[in-house]
Amino acid sequence: MPEIPVEMLSWFAAPNSDIEPQIALQTDHYELLFRTTRESNAITGAPGHLLVPYLADNSLVALDYTGPVLNWSAKAIYRHTSTLSPAFSELVKLIETYFQQISGTAEPVPEV
């Protein structure tokens, strides 16, 4: 799984089962997650746009998840300076635009 709160584990439990799911692998390396899932009896979660090629070639299948909506976020970390290079400023704008388009959210909120 990508990093998730421990409280969410019960959402992945089988109905009427005393067996609690356990996190076997927790990483932000999605290819590793997908490969592990394909080669085991594990389940994983990921943003839908990352799964498109795997769903298209049937190497992964989507389960009918009916629990609460899971959120995913990304952050850009860079040294706070008075001036960013034009290339880096453009890269940040492209990343912000991409995530706004796929998530339908407003402007990103910088963390202090």
Q: Do 51 and 14 share a structural domain? A: yes
Average pLDDT over residues 60-78: 73
| Predicted local distance difference test score (pLDDT) of residue 110 | 56
| Predicted local distance difference test score (pLDDT) of residue 19 | 66
Q: Give dist(CA 3, CA 72) in Å, integer.
A: 10
**Selection from 112, 92, 111, 88 nearest residue 100 by Cα:** 92
For the entire predicted model, the pTM comes to: 0.53
CA 94 to chain centre: 19
Q: Do 77 and 49 share a structural domain? A: no
**Total domains present in the chain:** 2
Mean pLDDT of the chain: 76
Domain hosting 79: range is 73-112
Task: Record the tokens describing residue 20, joined without a space.
Answer: 């609690």
> What proportion of the chain, given as a percentage, has pLDDT over 90?
16
Q: Give dist(CA 23, CA 1) in Å, integer.
A: 7
Q: Give dist(CA 92, CA 86) in Å, integer.
A: 10
pLDDT digits (tens, 9 = 90+) for 71-88: 666 666 777 766 778 898
The secondary structure element, H or E, covering residue 38 is helix 30-38
Average pLDDT over residues 58-82: 74
Task: Record the tokens describing residue 12, joined without a space.
Answer: 């992945």
Checking if the pLDDT of 22 tops 90, the result is no
Counted residue by residue, the chain has a size of 112
Residue 33 lies inside a defined structural domain of this protein: yes
Task: Record the tokens describing residue 7, joined without a space.
Answer: 């409280």
| Predicted local distance difference test score (pLDDT) of residue 106 | 56
Q: CA 80 → CA 4, 83, 85, 93, 97, distances in Å?
A: 29, 9, 12, 16, 21
Residue 47 lies inside a defined structural domain of this protein: yes
**Local confidence band at 99 (pLDDT 50, 70, 90 cut-offs):** confident
